[in-house]
A = this chain, B = another copy of it.
Amino acid sequence: MRSKPATALCDSEMLSPEELKTRLRQVGEERYHHRHPFHLMMHEGQLSRGQLQAWALNRYYYQSIIPIKDSIILSRSEDPEFRRAWRKRVIDHDGDATHAGGIERWIKLAEATGLERQRVLRGEEALPATRYAVDAYLSLVRSRSFLEAVASSLTEMFSRDLITLRMDRLRQHYPWLSGGLDYFTARLDQAPEDARFALQWVTDNARTRPEQELVIAALRAKCDILWAQLDALYFAYVQPGWPPPGAFRIRES
């Protein structure tokens, strides 16, 4: 008697919540940007101030669209309870009357690298490839199923470990940057809380195996979006290094 083909079995059976979480963790282990050479260099102290400036300036574009991304998700939910939970993200990034938000804190980080605030805000020197990757994130949350839009945020499952390591290494290797790390301090608490909610929600709302696979694929797609931003930085500013005309150039000092 021949055994059933493993893939057919696999396709037809729902993953348990634990199995789904394991699959998501595998995606993170393999594809989250903690493995990217640009981050490895950062954490080993091998980046110059100019390369950190390029990173801060480009990633500002990503930070600046996060509340837009989350407002799109808000606008796609018909459930007030979901919206109440999700809008926290918009507030975390935009801030309120008494607390600076994540966008403002990222600007402070960019300033700590030595960039002028207006230069960061204008964003004219961000790499086109940064924009394409970030805009793909907006496109994903706007166009794909609501389940996939929510699942794309699951990279937050992995951010606490990366941020913990990064803060340690930034303080060690680039002590002149230590005053600009408030963004990461805030994310240490925010990201895990957001990740718990999103993981629970996709676990509850992916009701077939194909839907669970969509969740996993959305997390992969988001990992690709983060990874591609670092690729753009690496190819332009690390090696061999040819930022396109008009893009930020590292000032020889």
Chain A residues at the B interface, C-beta cutoff of 8 Å? 64, 67-69, 71-72, 74-78, 80, 83-84, 87, 90-91, 93-97, 101, 103-104
Contact = CB atoms under 8 A, between A and B. Distances in A.
A103 B79 CA distance: 11
B80 A74 contact: no
Which of A75, A80, A97 gathers most chain B CB within 10 Å? A75
A149 to B, nearest CB: 12
Given A80-B103, A84-B96, A71 B71 contact: yes
29 contacts: A64-B78, A67-B74, A67-B80, A67-B83, A68-B75, A68-B76, A68-B78, A71-B72, A71-B74, A71-B75, A71-B83, A72-B75, A74-B74, A74-B75, A74-B90, A75-B75, A80-B93, A80-B94, A80-B95, A80-B101, A80-B103, A83-B90, A84-B94, A84-B95, A84-B96, A87-B87, A87-B90, A87-B91, A87-B94
Given A74-B74, A80-B94, 19 more contacts: A67-B74, A67-B80, A68-B76, A68-B78, A71-B74, A71-B75, A71-B83, A74-B75, A74-B90, A75-B75, A80-B93, A80-B95, A80-B103, A80-B104, A84-B94, A84-B97, A87-B87, A87-B91, A87-B94
